[in-house]
Amino acid sequence: MVREEMRAVGYLCPRCKKPVIARRSRFALAASGANVPCACGKSELQIDFDGEKFRVSVPCGVCGGEHLAECGADRLLDGEGIGLACPETSELCCFIGEEYAVERALAQLQITAEKQSAQGESPAAFTDTVIMYEVLSELKEIAARPHGISCACGSERYRMQVRPAAVDLVCEDCGAKMRIGAATDEDLDRLCCRMTLQIPGRRG
Which residues sit at the interface with Zn ion, rule CB under 5 A? 13, 15-16, 38, 40, 60, 62-63, 65, 86, 88, 151, 153, 155, 171, 173-174, 176, 201
Q: Considering beta carbons, is residue 36 or 191 the nearer one to Zn ion?
A: 36
Biggest CA-to-CA distance, the chain: 65
- d(Cα 75, Cα 72) in Å, to the nearest integer? 6
63/166 with CB nearer Zn ion: 63
CB of 150 to Zn ion, least distance (A): 8
Beta carbons within 8 Å of 24's beta carbon, 6+ residues apart: 6, 7, 9, 34
Nearer to Zn ion among residue 30 and residue 153 (C-beta): 153
Separation in Å, CA 68 to CA 84, 91, 100, 118, 188: 10, 14, 24, 27, 32
Phi-psi region of 132 (alpha: psi -120 to 50; beta: other; left: phi over 0): alpha
Supply the minimum distance, in Å, between the C-beta of residue 99 and Zn ion: 20
Nearer to Zn ion, 30 or 90 (CB): 90
Q: How far is the CB of 116 from Zn ion (least distance, A)?
A: 12
Q: What is the DSSP letter of 156?
A: -
Query: What's the min distance (Å) between Cβ of 60 and Zn ion?
Result: 3
